[in-house]
Structure 1
Amino acid sequence: MTAEPRSTPSAPEPAPTTAPAAAVEPGLAAALASRDLVVDLARVACILLVVVIHLLMIGVGYAPDGSLVVSRPLEAQPWFAAATWFGQIMPLFFAVGGFTALAAWRSLARRGGDATAFVRGRVLRLAGPALPLFVFFSVVLCVATLIGVDPALLDTIATGAGSPLWFLAAFLIAQCAVPWMSRLHEQAPRMTLAVLAVGAVVVDVVRIATGIAEIGLANLFFIWLFVQQLGFWYSDGWFRRRRPVTLVGLAAVAYLVIWPLVAMGWYSPDMLVNLNPPTVPLMLLGIAQISLMSALHRPLSALMRRRPAQAVVHLVGSRAMTVYLWHLPVIIIVEGLSLLIPGAAPEPGSAGWWVSRPLALIVVLGIVFAIAPLLVRFERLPTAIPAGFRAPSPVATASAAVLAIVPPFLVMQWFLDLPIALVGTASLVVVLLLLRPRRAAPRA
């Protein structure tokens, strides 16, 4: 489950997913047979859940007396905090992201690629789609400021619309570490998990004891690398070798450990609050979620053998970053336009408002997929180095990775505004310039 920057949604793995069976050629069919399609399904389910949750969190409409009401209907429900124990799917996304990243790294290494090439590819796949969004925010916020839009209203809208961007910082940090974390996994898998877990606990203890929230930022490394390592274990078959009853038991134990941590007041019962900075309960949620996915692997695999399921997974997965990055701006625009249509904006939380959500979801997804062709070139930036060119140096690649992390990190800490949008646009332009292939020097 998701929320604004204090606790935001999961996000999509940028790699493309499977093609629909109806369009599968013999060679591609063989490739699909070797894939774990349950991972693709999990990723797409996470993305769609993010869209649904945000659609239910943003309430804009008119009360019966005609006054404008802005609220968060989903969070007002008495069962909301309990639901976040299952709906906070960021840990699962990092786990399946670890699975796909490890496969990509091992494939690249077999072809002679190195860590620099891997990091370059990961940064391009995340920074490229983020650039047009930062440009969009820069233009919109600049125009709104110039025409005199109320600063408080503009700040509220920018904060909500830009909330998905924080994910890019955490995910890039984890993904860029894959070549080195995979080596540790091969050499000492249990010790690697143990060190990360102990590090996360120590960070939380110091943060809670001192009351300094910024100390928790260290868990951007410990928590997310721990959950990503779970994806490595899944890739190596550890979870698949366990019986379903064992996996369900493991998930139950993870949830039972979370309960006293919350009961003692160390953590919020709302798992969204525990997201930024990331905290120990997210590690436990990661264990529970990857265990439950593994326990359900057989029926989910059967589902993914059906053409309709493959078609939906392909449709959403092939536009994953566009859906993730743009759904909130589109939701806000749709909600705003509904205020101009008589009867289209019932009071948030009312029966009419809840009934209108399925139609709103169709409209939002329709608009997102309509604009997707305009953005696909940024989502699929080429990573190959053409003949006659050379790859960027390790220093240039590392610099680009840092610059790509800075803008979403700023959003995570201080929320989106015009200065941060402009900094993000400039930084990402520099990132793409640093990662472009260089023309090779002519031989003497």
Structure 2
Amino acid sequence: MSVDAMVAATPATRDRYVDALRVLALAGVIMGHYLMAVVTWAPGENVGFTNILAVEPWTRWMTLVLQVMPLFFAVGGFSHAIAWRSTARRHGGYADFVAARVGRLIRPALVYVGVWMVLGLVIGLLWPEQSAPILQILGQLLWFIGIYLIAAAFAPALLRAHERWGWRALATLVAAAALVDVLRLTEVADGVKWLNFAFVWLAIHQLGFFYADGVHEKLGPKRLGAAMLATGTIAIVLLTTLGPYGISMVSYEGEQLSNLAPPTVVLLAFGVAQAGVALLARDWATRKLERPRTWKAVIVGGSMAMTAFLWHFTALVGVNGLWWWLGPDTSPAGGTAAWWWSKLYLLVPYLGLVAALVLVFRRFERFPTPEIAGPRLWRTLVAALGVACGIVGMIGFAAVGFRGIAELYTVTVVGVPLNSVAACALVVASALLTTLAVRRASVAP
């Protein structure tokens, strides 16, 4: 179906604003990583990487605009609620939901992993010392998919809790996130901090359930948005001025307490405020999205957003590698006028390379929804195992990247040793298991 036909076929009941927010969030990530990356080199030295947030403290305030992942998770909650209810109406089960939702992430990610496993092996053997930090960075963006898979895996159960207990289910997640922070900061049990990768992101994800229920229509999107923005902002101000938290919503080297890795209640408050801003803009944006040209742009962007997200790190490394090869002998210091100017004139080739990679790999984002297989215990167990493999595999890549493939370079993640080969095997297993879970037995004619 052509894009124009898709525009014409869009039902009046579709919430176009949600689609626009999803595209906006991923575009924000792509631009945010570009603006924050500082690449350094000098004669006789290897190429180094750091974050502008670590160099220029004032830029940490920029993360209040550039950090858009909470918005993506809130939108994901809405999408998962709609998808699960639709699956249930068609007499589908957990495996059907997982195959449809997880497949959209695993399939394009598996292509990215496969390409970089081959490239990483070759590059790592040819230039082991020089390439190690670069190859490790190229896997870091997969943390998002790993955490988002947690949200997808628990979405049906949390939606049932939401339908039964309403705001009390959300309050429980918020209280759990706060308790984890207290235990972490008082050093009673520092190891529990990793639980907030689930509690904080699942709480933000839960906001989308309320949107799917139409709470914003009952209370008024502007009234509810203003209340959420005020609540989140007040909480951020109190936590960052009276508490030990910093203002940056993105991690950087040298920070005393990260709000992102693992997440804290500050990031949760930020997610509430950000969702409030989105509600305030909803009526205006919805009117704009009724225009065919605007909606067409959202459809086109949505059809390639995940591919662009997966490959933008590759474009970032490629453009900076070309600059290192053709540019000055010594890189400009991060935060200087020369460095900011470089961001301006490198933007065009960066976006051009992202677009080129999207044209090559976007075909793998087209994922046909499998037929309903129906609820069965064995299907549920296989699907759950598949999601678990995907979560661990993606988090493994986020920690080790594609570094030291031949040598099996290993890091420990929450007590579990992982290397890129094991992470790759887990992602492959995830794709196979989630597909097997909905496989229907062929019927002979």
346, 350, 355: which one pairs with 1:369? 355
234, 254, 259: which one pairs with 2:237? 259
1:145 to partner: Cα distance: 2.5
Instruction: Please tell me the residue identity of whatever aligns with 2:303.
Output: S
1:304 to partner: Cα distance: 1.6
67, 91, 99: which one pairs with 1:120? 99
1:144 to partner: Cα distance: 2.2
Instruction: Kindly provide the CA deviation profile for residues 293-331 of structure 1, in whole angstroms up to 9, marking residues without a partner as x.
Output: 111111111222234432332222111211111101211
Instruction: Please tell me the residue identity of whatever aligns with 1:188.
Output: W
Of 288-297 and 203-212, more deviation after overlay is shown by 203-212
1:238 to partner: Cα distance: 1.6
1:102 to partner: Cα distance: 0.9
Unaligned runs of 5+ in 1: 1-17
202, 208, 212: which one pairs with 1:231? 208
* Stretches (4+) displaced over 4 A: 22-26, 61-64, 66-71, 342-346, 412-416, 441-444
1:187 aligns with 2:164: yes
Name the CA shift for 1:156/1:234 in 2 (closer, same or farther; >3 Å).
same
Residue number in structure 1 paired with 2:16: 37
1:88 to partner: Cα distance: 2.1
Residue number in structure 2 paired with 1:428: 427
1:352 to partner: Cα distance: 4.3
66, 70, 90: which one pairs with 1:111? 90
Instruction: Please tell me the residue identity of whatever aligns with 1:271.
Output: M
Residue number in structure 1 paired with 2:247: 269
8 Å Cα contact 1:338/1:344 also seen in 2 = no
TM-score, scaled relative to structure 1: 0.84
Residue number in structure 2 paired with 1:317: 302
1:194 to partner: Cα distance: 1.3
1:361 to partner: Cα distance: 3.1
TM-score, scaled relative to structure 2: 0.84
Residue number in structure 1 paired with 2:279: 294
Of 227-236 and 66-75, more deviation after overlay is shown by 66-75
Name the CA shift for 1:312/1:76 in 2 (closer, same or farther; >3 Å).
farther
**Alpha carbon RMSD of aligned pairs, Å?**
3.2
144, 150, 153: which one pairs with 1:176? 153
131, 146, 150: which one pairs with 1:154? 131
Residue number in structure 2 paired with 1:48: 27
- What is the alpha-carbon distance in structure 2 between the residues aligned to residue 25 and residue 243 of structure 1? 26
Instruction: Kindly provide the CA deviation profile for residues 14-63 of structure 1, in whole angstroms up to 9, marking residues without a partner as x.
Output: xxxx985x44464x13x2x2122121221111111111111112233678
- What is the alpha-carbon distance in structure 1 between the residues aligned to residue 234 and residue 191 of structure 2? 28
Q: Report percent identity of matched pairs.
A: 33
Unaligned runs of 5+ in 2: 251-257, 409-418
Name the CA shift for 1:113/1:344 in 2 (closer, same or farther; >3 Å).
farther
Residue number in structure 2 paired with 1:6: none
8 Å Cα contact 1:40/1:317 also seen in 2 = yes
8 Å Cα contact 2:303/2:365 also seen in 1 = no
Name the CA shift for 1:25/1:308 in 2 (closer, same or farther; >3 Å).
closer
1:90 aligns with 2:69: yes
Q: Secondary structure at the match of 2:194?
A: helix
8 Å Cα contact 2:150/2:391 also seen in 1 = yes
Residue number in structure 2 paired with 1:393: 379
Residue number in structure 1 paired with 2:195: 218
- What is the alpha-carbon distance in structure 2 between the residues aligned to residue 86 and residue 313 of structure 1? 21
Q: Number of residues paired by the alignment?
A: 419
- Once the two structures are superposed, the pairs formed by residues 129-140 of structure 1 within 5 Å of their partners are 129-140=108-119
8 Å Cα contact 1:19/1:310 also seen in 2 = no
